[in-house]
Amino acid sequence: MEKICNFGEHLTIDGYYGNFEKLNDEKLVKFCLNELPDRVGMHKLADPEVYFAPENLNNKDSGGWSGFVVITESHISIHTFPYRGFVSIDVYTCKNGMDIDFISNYFVDKFELKDIETNFIKRGMKYPIENINN
């Protein structure tokens, strides 16, 4: 019988009633993507990328900043919606023991969020602890 473990952890944060200027600040989004990996013991494979996403064709998206950083352990992404005071964040890592409170509070502080929803998922629950193919 093969031995298994969980592959990693995935935290999603939906932030509400954030500060318009901070949610609309390209440099702040990039700063967060650059700083957070170091603060939580993750390792960047490349510099963060941030793009302006113009207003979409649907009624939900009035435009904002989308950014991501690829880390050795997986990725972190941020999507801001300044006109809605909303941000959608993903922190996905193959490490175990993610500090959910630290990461959540980090973003509450950076974007002055008044409310958040978080979801935490253990990923790859049947991940083999040894190579199964040579």
In the chain, where are the structural domains located?
Answer: 4-67+75-128
What confidence tens digit (pLDDT) does each residue in 76-124 have?
999 999 999 999 999 999 989 999 999 999 999 999 999 999 999 999 8
Q: Is pLDDT at 126 greater than 90 in this prediction?
A: no
Residue 24 is predicted with a pLDDT of: 97
Q: Which of 120, 123, 118 is nearest to 87 (CA)?
A: 118
Residue 87 is predicted with a pLDDT of: 98
The residue written with tokens 């972190």 in the block is 76
Which of 62, 66, 75, 94 is labelled catalytic?
94
Residue 62 is predicted with a pLDDT of: 84
Which of 62, 66, 75, 79 is labelled catalytic?
79
Residue 70 is predicted with a pLDDT of: 98
Which of 10, 32, 74, 104 is labelled catalytic?
74
Q: Is pLDDT at 2 greater than 70 in this prediction?
A: no
- Which fold, 4-67+75-128? S-adenosylmethionine decarboxylase (3.60.90)
For residues 44-63, one letter each, b for 16 or more C-beta atoms within 10 angstroms of the residue's C-beta and e for the rest, the string is: beeebebeeeeeeeeeeeeb
- Check if 32 is active-site: no
Q: Which residues contact 107 (CB under 8 A, 6 or more apart)?
A: 13, 15, 32, 87, 89, 113, 116
What is the mean pLDDT of the segment spanning 18-41? Answer: 98
- Check if 79 is active-site: yes
